[in-house]
Amino acid sequence: MRVFNFSPGPAALPEPVLQRAAEEMLDWHGSGMGVMEMSHRGKEFIGIAEKAETDFRKLLDIPANYKVLFLQGGAIGENAAVPMNLLAGKSSADFVNTGEWSKKSIKEATKFCKANVAASSEDKHFTYIPARETWKLDSNAAYVHLCTNETIGGVEYSWTPGVGDIPLVADMSSHIRDDLLDRALPTTPSILNWKEQSASESMLNTPPTWAVYIAGLVFEWLLAQGGLPAIERVNIAKANLIYELLDRSSFYHNDVRREDRSRMNVPFKLKNDSLDEAFLRGAKEHGMVQLKGHRSVGGMRASIYNAMPIAGVQALVDYMRDFEQRHG
Ligand SMILES: Cc1ncc(COP(=O)(O)O)c(C=O)c1O
């Protein structure tokens, strides 16, 4: 039986994507082999990678002067790659600190430069996004860095800050403006060097072929849903279902400022944390898993990315209401 999986990542995939990958596992499109067995330089995989990029560009409407790189090393790897590629002789960068992931970016950057914290919401346990007027930006900074969605704290920007001519770097995905490719420190490892990666179409070495293939299937699925505007409507409806329940309840609570609430990750706490284990056990019995909050903050967290169907969120809300009635 399939469960409703509320994990923050690795996270739920759309079921049609998993079915398609299963069908193609042994023999991709008559090639007689699975995607993980293909040469990354062969025509089959090159086709898969090109379609993934084309569909991604279409989904996000990415301008031609932005590169898309499919890289290994994840966001944590990019925390080092960003200063190495963008410092270009400057000695500092500006950071907006909105939680655990911003802190990780700041810590890594201090290995390469002075990391100036231009604004922070630490004073209120990272429950809000500091207003743009309060940011103390330095006109000599090499770039301004922020995290658009703090997946642990459940805090999300609903606006894009203007920072003038200074490059704005966001921990959100991997699209890169092409005029920024020429700035890397000479000591930057090739694998972290965006210009080298771009010149080799993200195939400087063996790329994460299976991840690119699955990402491509997800992009196709998203386009078939009607693209981002359609999936956004569903995501807003999903988030509203949970926040409405949280706002009405005195049994559960979420401390994030209303306008900065994440639509992707909804952390919440039970007033009485001695009920946490019973809550999680009961959820599992109802086919809902991975609801435990991040160890740094405790409580619960429902991650409800694109692949989580509204039926899953409805099941969670029904369960939460029922649990409150029995224990509240
Ligand atoms: C906002 C954010 N930044 C960075 C990371 C780290 O990503 P990775 O493990 O792929 O390096 C995560 C992982 O969950 C994240 O949610």
Residues with CB under 6 A from ligand 1: 8-9, 74-76, 101, 147, 151, 171
Measured CA to CA, the distance from residue 167 to residue 96 in angstroms comes to 14
Q: Is the pLDDT of residue 50 over 60?
A: yes
In a mutational test of the pocket of ligand 1, which residue from 79, 101, 174 has the highest number of ligand atoms less than 8 Å from its CB?
101
pLDDT tens, position by position, 191-227: 999 999 999 999 999 999 999 999 999 999 999 999 9
**Interval between CA 27 and ligand 1 midpoint (Å):** 32
The mean per-residue pLDDT over the stretch 120-147 comes to 98
pLDDT digits (tens, 9 = 90+) for 71-98: 999 999 999 999 999 999 999 999 999 9
Nearest CA to ligand 1 atom 14: 9
- Residue 246 near residue 254, CB atoms below 8 Å: yes
Tokens describing residue 162: 């203007």
- pLDDT higher than threshold 90 for residue 44: yes
Query: What residue's CA is closest to ligand 1, atom 3?
Result: 101
78 alpha carbon – ligand 1 mean position (Å):
10
What is d(CA 146, CA 95) in angstroms, rounded to the nearest whole number?
6
265-292 pLDDT per residue, tens: 999 999 999 999 999 999 999 999 999 9
Residue 231 in tokens: 């999936």
Instruction: Give the helix ranges, DSSP H, for the chain.
Output: 15-24, 43-60, 74-86, 100-109, 194-199, 209-224, 227-248, 276-285, 310-327
Record the pTM: 0.94
What is the average pLDDT across 17-41? 97
Distance 296 CA to ligand 1 centre (A): 15
Cβ-defined contacts of 284-291 (< 8 Å, 24+): 286/315, 286/319, 287/1, 287/3, 287/4, 287/315, 288/3, 288/4, 288/6, 288/312, 288/315, 288/316, 288/319, 289/3, 289/4, 289/5, 289/6, 289/7, 290/5, 290/6, 290/7, 290/8, 291/6, 291/316
**DSSP letters along 67-93, please?**
EE---SSHHHHHHHHHHHHH-TT--EE
Please state the atom number of ligand 1 nearest to the C-alpha of residue 78.
11
In which band, very low, low, confident or very high, does the pLDDT at 328 lie, cut at 50, 70 and 90?
confident
